[in-house]
Structure 1
Amino acid sequence: MSTVITFSGNLVADPELRFTPSGTAVLEFRALVNRRAKNAAGDWHDADPTAHNVKVWGQQAENLAESAGRGDRVLVHGLVETESWEKDGEKRTKDVVTISERFGDVGLSTKRATVKATKVTRSHSASIDDAQAAIGGDPWAVPVGSE
């Protein structure tokens, strides 16, 4: 069972885009969420920020790499997963908010900035175009038996 998280935070540094050996884009960044808390006297003060590691996969990774930079405020909705590895014979882990093609989203916040959206154009393969033509051209319809 995975935990779903939604937050807004500021990028600590420019996101890092890389590609897997199979060519899939992966974008990684760290975002800080500023918090306020009450002290013993009941007064509000700035609390230590919460840091989140975020990993974005696929086309979203490429789109965000062109749009976001250090200091930008982002809105993140994804699954919290635990990555583990071994270093110097010691097992290490870290929690990562994962945004994939199947689930999750990330975008720039308009709270303190304006954002210009540019639609990404993609070319479809002939089989997709043929399938859409067979169902009357509706791009959202799913042909029976293709699920």
Structure 2
Amino acid sequence: MAGETVITIIGNLTADPELRTTSTGASVCGFTIASTPRTWNRQSGQYEDGQPLFLRCSAWRDLANHCASSLAKGMRVIAQGRLQQRSYQAQDGSNRTVYEMQVDEIGPSLRYATAQVSRTSHTRGQAGNTGNGYAGGATGFAPAAPTPGSPEDPWASSGPAFGAPGTQAEEEPEF
């Protein structure tokens, strides 16, 4: 949507994601990402940690389920989403403002780790679900994907590979 502030944050999860279900049946997963800047101190010859930023995040529906099954405390993640501001009155009567991120995309950082990604099964008929979900990570995986080459595999090829010698393909295949 126009006018929304989209941000990307790289950091570590401070705790295991918490999966909950709303009264309408929608899944929501809440977690906090801690991002700490590091700078090189020339005098000491060492890196020094700056002031950490703790950003509360939430993911909804299928993404919530994928986060809960794939992510764990301490994992380094890259998340992109919409920054939202919310104001409320605390129990002591003071007015407070919090910033939260509604996560649109998230995944493990591969800078210091490896990950195995598996495709999730398609679920039709749920609001907001495009059926294009992926889950993965070092700690958990989604249900098994269709066998490559099977009729259920959307990436299966029925003919020669694009650009293979002797083919007439001049344009890239549509996805």
AA of the residue aligned to 1:111: R
**Once the two structures are superposed, what CA deviation does each residue of 1:27-83 show, in whole Å capped at 9, x if it has no partner?**
111111121236696975221222111111111010110000100011111110012
In the alignment, does 2:111 pair up with 1:107? no
Partner of residue 19 from structure 2, selected from 17, 21, 30: 17
AA of the residue aligned to 1:93: T
Counterpart of 1:130 in structure 2 is: none
AA of the residue aligned to 2:14: V
Counterpart of 1:79 in structure 2 is: 82
- Cα deviation for residue 94 of structure 1 reads 0.6
Q: Which structure's relative contact order is higher, taking Cα pairs within 8 Å and 6+ residues apart?
A: 1
Counterpart of 1:145 in structure 2 is: none
Separation of aligned partners in 2, 1:81 and 1:42: 39
Q: Structure 2: 5+ residue runs without aligned partners?
A: 126-153, 155-175
Higher helix share: 1
Partner of residue 91 from structure 1, selected from 86, 89, 95: 95
Q: Structure 1: 5+ residue runs without aligned partners?
A: 126-138, 140-147
- Cα deviation for residue 92 of structure 1 reads 2.2
**Once the two structures are superposed, what CA deviation does each residue of 1:58-115 show, in whole Å capped at 9, x if it has no partner?**
110101100001000111111100123333233322100112xxxx211111111221
Count of residues in Structure 1 that have an aligned counterpart in Structure 2: 122
Separation of aligned partners in 2, 1:70 and 1:51: 14
Partner of residue 36 from structure 1, selected from 32, 35, 38: 38
RMSD of equivalent CA atoms: 2.2
Counterpart of 1:48 in structure 2 is: 51
TM-score normalised per structure 1 = 0.73
In the alignment, does 2:86 pair up with 1:59? no
TM-score normalised per structure 2 = 0.62
Task: Give me the identity figure in percent.
Answer: 31
Separation of aligned partners in 2, 1:15 and 1:120: 19
Partner of residue 68 from structure 1, selected from 71, 83, 105: 71
